[in-house]
Amino acid sequence: MFHVGGARSALYNWAVARQSGGRFVLRIEDTDAARNQPEWVEGIISALAAIGINESDPAFEGPYFQSQNAGRHREAAEQLYAAGKAYYCDCTREQLKERTGSEHLGYDGFCRDRGLVYEAGRALRFRTPDEGETVVVDLVRGKPAFPNSAIEDFVIARGDGSPVFLIANVVDDLDEGITQVIRGEEHLSNTPKQQLLWEALGAKAPVWAHLPVIVNEKRQKLSKRRDKVALEDYLAEGYLPEAMTNYLMLLGWGPGEDREIRPYEELERLFRVEDVGTSPAFFDVKKLSAFNGEYIRGLASEAFVAACAPWLRAPYAPWAEERYDQAVFEAVAPLAQTRLSVLSEITKYVDFLFLDEPVDDEASWNKAMKPGAAELLRDARTELAATDWKAEPLKAALEAVAARHGLKLGKAQAPVRVAVMGRTVGLPLFESLEVLGRDRVLGRLNAAQERLAA
């Protein structure tokens, strides 16, 4: 699963790397074997490619795997110990609670000056400076300062000698020549610790940029337990990669003009990480759908037909194997293209063309089939049967029927639409009748009359 927040961070990093002639480094942090599988790596690379971050581009570097650098992580931890910048600690959680009276207070420095050497079970802790403050240079948030007295002596290697993620990340960044890190604000609290490690290893820390949190409509941070957050899920639902890329780029940043629908190349050129805001960014699915609709309408006809293809096959369209007709779909594709907000909607717009009977949508039937519907359908069938089978004559015929029944055309259309197509909302009625054909339309009008008479 590739989180949309991670996708936004990747796009911002990609933009900066390409603007500056730099490198976008993909690192797979795979030290927890239980949480990493080869297919997940392939999924990340595939998701990045979908939003234009392609490993064939010269700016792309990697993937690197954190587990392959484990030896360097250990060396760095030992280097800090040898320099007196880290010390071993054998305190247990229970002992700390007994000394501090709480499970929630940070480490109290008990082992700082005990001179312990490594033994199995002893963790290695970084010796945080007692005085001063650590200033983080952040392109989004300015220069937040963190008093060193508020930063506990944090663990950099576990009791089995394995370095923790914090130092592994710093060492990997150092070895890979990382000069700028753009990531979510949830990582800001770890940044002073990482910066202290950079300095303790004799290196200059990168420039940081912590992006605003992404929230849902209730202004809660997006959560995979509660919200749809996987980029893959949106793409699988029929959101175009170009629309996703455009929308994600604007979550926290804007080009400073009213026009939001822009190709990625233009957004990349205009992007400045210094202009990213600090307020939470609302992931508005309705707005995303509106973006997507604009991109769908912008597709060439052939591209739109091709993009719809996955949703005109099983399992989305169980009828497709036996009944689907490409020529019939192409005849109505321009009508559908102006109405979709996501490609997966295409199935319900065109299924009436390929089914033996229209779908049985009880809510639509009850809404359209009001008193007098049977008489109107009977009159409509008679009038339509004698009409030239083209959209405009069909419309004129139904207008005449509506007038005789004292109705506006819209009111007269509703029962005809549901009788023929099954739903109250869909493609333009008269063009649909033309494509469906005289015999099938008249047969469905008959069936609807019989159902009303039953």
Domains, the chain, in order of start with CATH, read 69-211 (3.40.50.620), 299-353 (no CATH), 362-453 (1.10.10.350)
Per the residue annotation, which of 224, 228, 370, 390 is the catalytic one? 224
Is 224 in the active site? yes
- pTM of the predicted model as reported, rounded to 2 decimal places: 0.90
User: Is residue 224 annotated as involved in ligand binding?
Assistant: yes
d(CA 64, CA 438): 63
The pLDDT, as a whole number, for residue 224 is 85
Below-70 pLDDT ranges, the chain: 32-37, 104
Are 193 and 85 a contacting pair, CB within 8 Å? no
Mean pLDDT of the chain: 94
What's the chain look like in SS3? CCEHHHHHHHHHHHHHHHHHCCCEEEEECCCCHHHCCHHHHHHHHHHHHHCCCCCCCCCEEEEEEHHHHHHHHHHHHHHHHHCCCEEEECCCHHHHHHHHCCCCCCCCCCCCCCCCCCCCCCEEEECCCCCCEEECCECCCECCEEEHHHCCCCEEECCCCCECHHHHHHHHHHHCCCCEEEEEHHHHHHHHHHHHHHHHCCCCCCEEEEECCEECCCCCECCCCCCCCEHHHHHHHCCCHHHHHHHHHCCCCCCCCCCCCCCHHHHHHHCCHHHCCCCCEECCHHHHHHHHHHHHHCCCHHHHHHHHHHHHCCCCCCCHHHHCCHHHHHHHHHHHHCCCCCHHHHHHHHHHHCCCCCCCCHHHHHHHCCCCHHHHHHHHHHHHHCCCCCHHHHHHHHHHHHHHCCCCHHHHHHHHHHHHHCCCCCCCHHHHHHHHCHHHHHHHHHHHHHHHHC
User: Is residue 370 annotated as involved in ligand binding?
Assistant: no
The pLDDT, as a whole number, for residue 35 is 63
The pLDDT, as a whole number, for residue 283 is 97
User: Is residue 91 annotated as involved in ligand binding?
Assistant: yes
The pLDDT, as a whole number, for residue 321 is 84
Q: Read off the tokens for 162.
A: 């394995």
The pLDDT, as a whole number, for residue 322 is 83
User: Is residue 111 annotated as involved in ligand binding?
Assistant: yes
